[in-house]
C-alpha cells in the first residue's frame, strides 16, 4: 500500500511530462492529423519547335517563314495543382521553379501529390504580383538569376533569346524578356492542360506518374497574335509587346504523354 501511494506522487509529474512532449511535437509537425497518402509525380518539360526538339544554335522556321535560332529559353512555373475527377483543385506545390533549357535538371520537377484520379494539371507561368513587390527573395527567385529587372522592379516571367536574319537588331539578335505584373500590362498566366486522350490519370503511392509536357517555342510568334521578328526584335520592359508575347506563350504547353510505372 505504501509503495503504491508513493507512485501516485509522480502521477501529475508524468502527466505533465507527457503533455509537454506532445505539445512540443505538435508545434513542430505541420499536420496533427495523419496526412493523406501521397504518390510521386514527375513533370518533365520537353522543349520543341513544332516537332523537332529544341537545341541551342540549331536553325528553325517560325510560322512567318523567319529563320531563327535560340541561345536562351527559360520561364518561371509555380502554383502547380491537379484537378481531381470530382473537379476540385488539389495543390501540389506552391514553390517557384525556374525551368531553363540551359540547365537540363531544371526541366524535371520531382514532386508528390495526394493519391487520386485526376483530369487536368494547372499551373501559373510567371511570378505572382505579391512576390514582385516583396523585396529581396532567394532560391529560384534570387534576383541574380538574370530574371529580374533592377531599374523597374519586377521579375522577367519568361525569356527567349536568339538570332534571326530577319532581325533588324544589333548582330541580328532578337530578345524577348517578358514581364509585367501591373494592370494593364499583366503577363502572369495560368494554364490548364488536359491529358492527350482526356483520360483521367492516377497518382498512387505505389507508382511513379510522369507527365511529359511539351513547350513549343514557335507559339511565341503565333499562338494568338502574329509577332514577327522583323517588326519586333526586342521586348525589354513591361508593355504592349510583352503582353502579346505572354498571350502567345501561354499556348505553348501541351501534355504529350503520361506514364505510370
Binding site for another protein (CB under 8 A): 6, 9-10, 12-13, 16-17, 20-21, 24, 27-28, 132-138, 142-144, 148, 150-154, 185, 237-240
DSSP-derived secondary structure letter, 65: S
Residue 2 CB, nearest approach to another protein (Å)? 11
CB of 37 to another protein, least distance (A): 26
The answer to whether 120 and 83 are in contact (CB under 8 A) is yes
Diameter of the chain by CA atoms?
100
Q: 133 or 230, CB closer to another protein?
A: 133
In the complex with another protein, the residue whose CB is nearer, 122 or 145, is: 145
Nearer to another protein, 62 or 187 (CB): 187
Omega into 184 within 30° of 0, i.e. cis? yes
Residues facing residue 148 across a β-bridge:
155
Report, in Å, the least distance between residue 139 CB and another protein: 9
Q: How far apart are CA 133 and CA 77, in angstroms?
A: 18
- Residue the block writes with cell 511565341: 220
217 within 8 A of 229, measured Cβ to Cβ: no
Residue 13 three-state SS: helix
Nearest residue (CB) to another protein, 126 versus 238: 238
As measured in angstroms, the least distance from the Cβ of 125 to another protein is 21
Amino acid at each position: 500500500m505504501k509503495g503504491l501511494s508513493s507512485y501516485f506522487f509522480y502521477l501529475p509529474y508524468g502527466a505533465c511530462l507527457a503533455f509537454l512532449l506532445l505539445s512540443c511535437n505538435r508545434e513542430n509537425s505541420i499536420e496533427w492529423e495523419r496526412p493523406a497518402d501521397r504518390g510521386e509525380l514527375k513533370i518533365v518539360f520537353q522543349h520543341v519547335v513544332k516537332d523537332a526538339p529544341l537545341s541551342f544554335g540549331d536553325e528553325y522556321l517560325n510560322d512567318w517563314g523567319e529563320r531563327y535560332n535560340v541561345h536562351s529559353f527559360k520561364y518561371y512555373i509555380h502554383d502547380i495543382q491537379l484537378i481531381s475527377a470530382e473537379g476540385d483543385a488539389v495543390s501540389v506545390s506552391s514553390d517557384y521553379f525556374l525551368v531553363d533549357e540551359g540547365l537540363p535538371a531544371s526541366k524535371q520537377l520531382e514532386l508528390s501529390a495526394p493519391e487520386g484520379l485526376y483530369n487536368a494539371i494547372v499551373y501559373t507561368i510567371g511570378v505572382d504580383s505579391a512576390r514582385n513587390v516583396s523585396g529581396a527573395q532567394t532560391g529560384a527567385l534570387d534576383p541574380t538569376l538574370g530574371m529580374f529587372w533592377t531599374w523597374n522592379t519586377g521579375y522577367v516571367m519568361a525569356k527567349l533569346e536568339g538570332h534571326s536574319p530577319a532581325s533588324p537588331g544589333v548582330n541580328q539578335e532578337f530578345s524577348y524578356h517578358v514581364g509585367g505584373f501591373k494592370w494593364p500590362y499583366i503577363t502572369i498566366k495560368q494554364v490548364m492542360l488536359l491529358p492527350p486522350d482526356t483520360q483521367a490519370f492516377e497518382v498512387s503511392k505505389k507508382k511513379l506518374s510522369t507527365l511529359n509536357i511539351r513547350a513549343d517555342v514557335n507559339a511565341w510568334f503565333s499562338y494568338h497574335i502574329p509577332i514577327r521578328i522583323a517588326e519586333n526584335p526586342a521586348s525589354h520592359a513591361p508593355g504592349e509587346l510583352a503582353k502579346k508575347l505572354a498571350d502567345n506563350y501561354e499556348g505553348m504547353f501541351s501534355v504529350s504523354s503520361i506514364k505510370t510505372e
